[in-house]
Amino acid sequence: MSVPDPRLIPVGHTDSQRGFTVMCSIVPPYMLRRIAARNEPRLRAVARAAKESLLHIKDLQAIRTAPIPPAPPSARQAKPGPPKRTIFDAGSSETLPGRIVRKEGAPPVGDVAADEAYDGLGSTHRLYGEIFGRDSIDDAGLSLDATVHYGKLYDNAFWDGSQMVFGDGDGQIFQRFTKSVSVIGHELAHGVTQYTANLAYRNQAGALNESMSDVFGVLVEQYLKQESAGDASWLIGEGLFTEQVQGAALRSMKAPGTAYDDDVLGKDPQPDSMDTYVRTSADNGGVHINSGIPNKAFYVVASELGGKAWEAPGQIWYGTLTSGSLPATCTFGKFAKTTLATAEELFGSGSAEHDAVLKAWETVKVKV
């Protein structure tokens, strides 16, 4: 797999501590490493694809680029505008963005991946606009671009700082990555974080970065389906696995550590409280693993309050993300305190919402 030309790579999420961009991908490196280590004849092509995906992540993260500045207040509208979507087809190449196949307002083109990407971008834009009053990812009407059919047997989807990119999967472990709207919502939420708190992508701040994307990924899906907190699956990437995999999704917010248990992928390693927090230097300090802890906290808030998770729970988490109070190197404790302060500001001290947030962090054993 060739190293991309830096001139062709849009700006990525900036790790403020290290000064270079980080590609935020949906499939954790630890999962790809397990696949890459397989040597059975039936899995050789899959293992090769996983190795190439790992190299690709490393190559993109090594490219130094300048961060995208937030949109100036003058560019923002009082009322969110309509989406501006463009879908590109990379044609199994690694050159971005590719050939335009569908633009805003055009009818479906009959390419399942292209049409799913178009619809998923629209669902994400709708959640932010209708529920949070946000005008696209940057709150200033940013165009939503996505490339499908990226690479050959490419086992990932990622936000590179300017657009979404989707692989088609290897066909044995993963199906096409446009199939799950929670994946689309997750990756675009990395853009929202980039334009707001800009949480560093390592250690607890990185786990919070990943968790915020999981939170808004499930909210996009639940809002699309009009599901209550009690009826929702709380799964990230449901439907991505083929029938050969023993697993439901990449992650479970309701029960971290239970999303899959497979002879190839191993068992889901996510902890659900600080009792089993994973201390590691891998995956930028465990950003995809330890995100299970704040994920569980959000689920507890939503389940305690009932109803629609995009209402009070979503407003508290969105208000926290956009509060300006989160340092780039935010810890779980600081984030928990800020959610509690946001709940108090929005609903009052001693309210059901405030008490639900307090119970959530107590459940996952994060000190507030």
Q: How far is CA 333 from CA 190, 256, 292, in A?
A: 21, 19, 15
Listing DSSP states for 118-185 in one string gives HHHHHHHHHHHHHHH---TTTTS---EEEEES-SSS---EEE-SS-EEE----SSSB--TTS-HHHHH
CB 296 within 8 A of CB 272: yes
264-271: list long-range contacts, CB under 8 Å, 24+ apart. 264/34, 264/35, 264/38, 264/43, 264/173, 265/31, 265/34, 265/35, 265/173, 266/34, 269/30, 270/295
Please pick, among 13, 149, 288, 354, the residue that the annotation labels catalytic: 288
Extract the tokens encoding 184: 């689309």
CB 301 within 8 A of CB 360: yes
Let me know if 130 is a catalytic residue. no
First vs last Cα of the chain: how many Å apart? 46
Burial class (CB in 10 A: 0-12, 13-18, 19+), 11: middle
The distance of Cα 307 from the centroid of its chain, to the nearest Å, equals 23
**How many C-beta neighbours within 10 Å does residue 42 have?**
9
According to DSSP, the β-strands at 144-148 and 164-166 are parallel
Nearest in space to 77 (alpha carbons), one of 123, 136, 161: 136
Cα(163)–Cα(245) distance, integer angstroms: 29
Among 320, 326, 315, CA closest to 339: 320
Active site annotation includes 288: yes
Q: Which of 17, 46, 10 is nearest to 31 (CA)?
A: 46
The catalytic position among 187, 210, 221, 353 is: 187
How far is Cα 204 from Cα 208, in angstroms, rounded to an integer?
Answer: 6
From 25, 96, 97, 21, select the one nearest 66 (Cα to Cα).
21
Question: What positions carry a catalytic annotation?
Answer: 187, 288
